[in-house]
Chain A
Amino acid sequence: MDTNTEKQEYTITVYTENQVGLLNRIAIIFSRRKINVESLNTSPSEIDGIHRFTIVIHESRSVVIKLVRQIEKQVEVLKAYFNTNDEIVWQELALYKVLSEEITERAKVERLLREFGARAIAIRKDFIVFETTGHREETNKLMKALEPFGLVEFVRSARVAIIKESSGFHEKLKDFESREPSEEVIENEYLGKREAVFTM
């Protein structure tokens, strides 16, 4: 397979400043080229003050390299990496809302939930919410299996991923933050103070 032109799944990990609007700046890099983002997650990183984006796209290697360079070019981006699936450990979380009567009356459903290792995280008279984590295929499978048995709501989170070979970067990042602490995010403080302000 020619990895330069053949499309496959890539996970892009971006370390950034925490800044209003940066999400849009990064999203524009994909939408400008009409590339669909399969999954996007923003979260804090292990270093306080440094943010982390995890983005999954289905593209060729040569396109991914260009995208990552464009991302790194953004002023508030510290570093961007891209990895194929065998270079990362990843997980997604899924929630399933199922009608209680279906669960209580059908033994098959109970077997299914056990099989997939689902946990009940909310139990009510009318419905129960289950949770599983896993790769997309696994969470999908349970969704399909539950469909005939009163699945009324399904939602899956974005992928979160750990890069297998990233220990060196953690030390660099820690050192970086301690030498130059990040700045505070400044938000609009004035929304909701409408009547108190005179305008023209």
Chain B
Amino acid sequence: METIIAKTTDQKVEAKIAPTTLTGSQAVLEACIAEGADTIFGYPGGAIMPIYDALYDYNDKLKHILVRHEQGGIHAGQGYARTSGKVGVVFATSGPGATNLVTGLADAMIDSTPLVCITGQVFAHLLGTDAFQETDIINITMPVTKWNYQITDATEIPGILAKAFYLARSGRPGPVLIDITKNAQIQSFNYEGYTPCNHIRSYRPKPVIRKNFIDEAVALINNAKKPLVIFGQGVILGKAESEFKKFIEKSGMPAAWTILGLSALPTDHPQNVGMLGMHGNYGPNVLTNECDVLIAVGMRFDDRVTGRLDKYAKQAKVIHLDIDPSEIDKNVKADVGVWGDCKETLPLLTLGIEQKDRSEWLKVFASYTQQEYDQCIKEEIYPATEEMTMGEVIRIVNETTLGNAVMVTDVGQHQMVTCRYAKFNESRSNVTSGGLGTMGFGLPAAIGAKFGAQDRTVIAVIGDGGIQMTIQELGTIMQTGVDVKIMILNNQFLGMVRQWQQLFNDKRYSFVDIQSPDYVMVAKAYGIEGAKISHRNDLVKGIQTMLAHKGSYLLEVMVGKENNVFPMVPQGCSVSEIRLK
């Protein structure tokens, strides 16, 4: 289509001449192209057939990845969004296709992942008649989407999709679902071109930064003897990694991360003091209750981070930076709430804060690190036992990748171990299901992560429970040839639940002894190379072989059956009651 873009004087409106007739379906694809979406994860079906028919002619401009289940599609979209920093696009049909997206939407909602999901819907005149594959996906997904909308007329498509992409990516990102009835997909209309959206009158992506709060925060930091910075995914979503580094470096403050903030600051940065929360590091947890000023950047004080709230950082003045005003004071009362995009607020703070040497305070963290290493870490990464540990597997991965790989994890013990021990040099390298804790996330997310970062090595670390939830996506790997290294850490248990049953339910192992198929044979059936490692002697070689292999590879590592992840803040306990064993 020939279009000429002209800017009128008073408004940024793209006036386009030579309008064309397009179908609704074509308009959907034009919107995806205009928004820079190069990869779509999807699965066809009756109600979305017109869009798939149009896609047939767009094959050269849009890459469509046929997944094996819509849940796999949306998790792949999430993985893509996380590594690329772009909006993930997912297609699914009506009814079961749409409901299969719900877990991924909830996951993307709680982890602020930008997605645009397009679902087909029955003809508009059939809405509410219990038509074949009709489901009220708009109302089903209302609590798990940042915004959703049903299109019944093709003329709405360009405007609504522009809004969808804008909402997904701006402010605090999140998933958007657009449900399009079949008649609108078929309908031809006068297409006047695509105008991206950058403003909705009732929507404020960023709150206005208030100077007085910046000043108050600066004063608190400058007077602090023992400040602690805790950061979350907001730093990554705001693309504020370098602003964040400057901020902590100028004032010499220690910085600890949530699992979604992981990789925003390189692992070996001298001020990186480790992981917060239930299975986080000893120092940052204990010292949260000893610092005098706690500076939270782009994180939401999840209960897995705070432990018992009434005993969380009560001695400290709390400064909370967040782009979402509803997060301030939601869980932890902030003494100073700095509303705004941290890409803008962090430099303002950096400007005001004084250069300080806080090496004494950092030494306190180092002494805790040493205690943790002696009592806990050493045995995990250099075990003296015959059984292999998850920690030593991750250590060897680090030694082989040197911290340059994208690590995708599923949910459970292996996730905590990977977050604790994996080394990261650059941002957007850790992809995990944080808030929702979605088992089955890992494999499909890794596929998407690779499409989002094609020049990087992508390693999916998955447990023997999680892999069996979305194992069908091996078919997607087979068909697309996408290069994903799959590492199954098999402890022959649903390990995290087993750990809790051991510690809190008197070892009453209720339905956690899950059996596995022969994963290497399963992989082979999908044309994927693989190996199983049962002895330590083969481990280094096995990991090297996996990483050197051209194309996907599945490595199953048999680890100790009843190993636990420590340290641990037991549920209902304060962060200072963290247990080393």
Interface residues, chain A, CB within 8 Å of chain B? 16-17, 20-21, 24-25, 28, 32, 65-66, 69-70, 72-73, 75-78, 176, 180, 182, 186, 188-194, 197, 199-200
Contacts and interface: CB of A to CB of B under 8 A. Distances in A.
B146 A189 contact: no
Given A28-B142, A66-B326, 8 more contacts: A17-B202, A21-B138, A69-B330, A70-B326, A75-B200, A189-B124, A190-B124, A199-B123
Interface residues of B, number: 31
Contact of B146 (A70, A75, A190, A199): A75
6 contacts: A16-B202, A28-B143, A69-B326, A78-B202, A180-B201, A191-B127
Contact of B127 (A25, A75, A188): A188
B123 A197 contact: yes
Contacts of A186: 152-153, 156
A73 B125 contact: no
Contacts of B146: 75
Contacts, number: 71
Interface string B175-205: 0000001110000000000000000111100
Nearest to A73: B326
Give chain B's interface secondary structure class: mixed
A190 B183 contact: yes
Given A21-B142, A66-B330, A73-B324, A190 B202 contact: no
B329 interface: yes
Interface of B: 46, 123-128, 138-139, 142-143, 146-148, 150, 152-153, 156, 167, 181-183, 200-203, 324-326, 329-330
A191 B122 CA distance: 12
Nearest to B148: A21
A69 B201 contact: no
A185 to B, nearest CB: 12
B326 A190 contact: no
B127 A77 contact: no
A142 to B, nearest CB: 38
A192 B125 contact: yes
A66 B300 CA distance: 14
A20 B124 CA distance: 15
Nearest to B129: A194
Contacts of A78: 201-202
Given A28-B143, A76-B202, A176-B201, A197 B125 contact: yes
A102 B147 CA distance: 55
B202 A75 contact: yes
A197 B330 CA distance: 50
B200 A190 contact: no
A25 B126 contact: no
A20 B149 CA distance: 9
Contact of A24 (B142, B183, B324): B142
A189 B183 CA distance: 12
A189 B153 contact: yes
Nearest to B125: A190
Contact of B183 (A65, A75, A197): A197
Nearest to A29: B143
Nearest to B330: A66
Contacts of B139: 21, 24
Contacts of A197: 123, 125, 183
B146 to A, nearest CB: 7
A195 to B, nearest CB: 9
